[in-house]
Structure 1
Amino acid sequence: MITGWSMPILALALALVGCSPALDWRSVELEGLRTVLPCKPDRAARDVVLGQFQVRMSMAGCEAQGALFAISQVTVPAGIDAADLEQAWRSAALAQMQASQSEMLTISQRPQSPPLRLTRASGRHPDGSPVQASLAWVAHKGSVFHLAVYAKAIPAALTEPLLADLQWR
């Protein structure tokens, strides 16, 4: 059993070798959520522990222009509040990157869409190098989704397409 969110994301990042360095935005669907990524994603699924919750995480991610882009999904276990699972996931993500500062805001999409909770953070990679992160979570129909961008610097051009028009099936 892999613990925390970081091992699957790091394993996925290490497996990424085929993405073009240019941003070639394309539609990607993961467990009912459709958005765009700037390169062809690799996919994986792993059992993880987020705080006190053991869940199966599905992921799609790729690297382009020095940034890691990832979408992840977990099904909320019976009897668990999605907000508690989301908070455990957020805490694990920030702890893994040794976040020294972060800010959180809620973004409303279309009226029928669930709100997106966005966290921007500064921290460190496991090797000690600095990293910025734009991390978003959204709960929808029994799942919690996580959209992430990790890079040395994150201009709006790296995050806006990913978060701009989430579509649900």
Structure 2
Amino acid sequence: MSSFPLAVLGAALLAGCTPSLNWREVGLPPTGAAALLPCKPDHAQRSVPLGGVPTELAVSGCEAGGATFALMAARLPAGRAPDEVLAGWQQATLANMQAGGEVRRSDFRPPRGLPLAHAQRLAAEGRQAGGQPVAAQAAWTARAAEGGGTELLHAVMYAPRPQPEAADAFFAGIRWP
């Protein structure tokens, strides 16, 4: 193998590990999920209407390297359709950021994740509430919860322009135990 591909690979790996991104593991109650965030997160909990039903949502997030990183976790009781909730959550996220143009989608299923149609990773560009441009990389996943129901996880990274290396590192750090 020539040294050029090795140099390119090394540069790509280092881009996700810049000094401004100090990755650390964060647990995501009420789910059993864990993820990596590149900075010390703030935590909040609030009730939001997921699928039209008030649902407790745990949020962890921080800002680093010119981007905002957020993780959201919720638990649905048995009988709720997780794929429908993920689909609505995606639509709300895209509407909130005033997404325009192409939305690039791919499957997103960490080990133990459910094979749902809307367990996806997407990339989109839009506008913040103040009109400034924003690029988003986001992912949604779910798994069957112990004792019944479903655990949901949403991860999102917002930045003025795409940062694919940081987004790849962020999403690679999501795991179900």
Please, what TM-score do these two structures have when normalized by structure 1?
0.80
Alpha-carbon spacing, 1:123–1:23, altered in 2? closer, same or farther (3 Å) = same
Question: Following superposition of structure 1 onto structure 2, how do residues 1-169 of structure 1 map, counting pairs within 5 Å?
Answer: 22-31=20-29, 32-101=32-101, 102-110=103-111, 112-114=112-114, 116-141=119-144, 142-169=150-177
**Structure 2 unmatched runs, 5+:** 1-18, 145-149
1:76/1:85 contact within 8 Å kept? no
Distance 2:138 2:41 in 1: 18
Deviation at 1:49, TM superposition (A): 1.6
**Structure 1 unmatched runs, 5+:** 1-20
Letter in 2 for 1:143: E
1:55/1:77 contact within 8 Å kept? no
1:99/1:121 contact within 8 Å kept? yes
Letter in 2 for 1:24: N
RMSD of aligned Cα (Å): 1.8
Letter in 1 for 2:36: V
State how many pairs are aligned. Answer: 148
Secondary structure of the residue aligned to 1:131 is strand
Q: Which protein is bigger by CA-based radius of gyration?
A: 2
Alpha-carbon spacing, 1:121–1:53, altered in 2? closer, same or farther (3 Å) = farther
Distance 1:76 1:108 in 2: 18
Letter in 2 for 1:68: T
Deviation at 1:165, TM superposition (A): 3.9
Q: State, as a whole percentage, how many aligned pairs show the same letter.
A: 35
Deviation at 1:166, TM superposition (A): 2.6
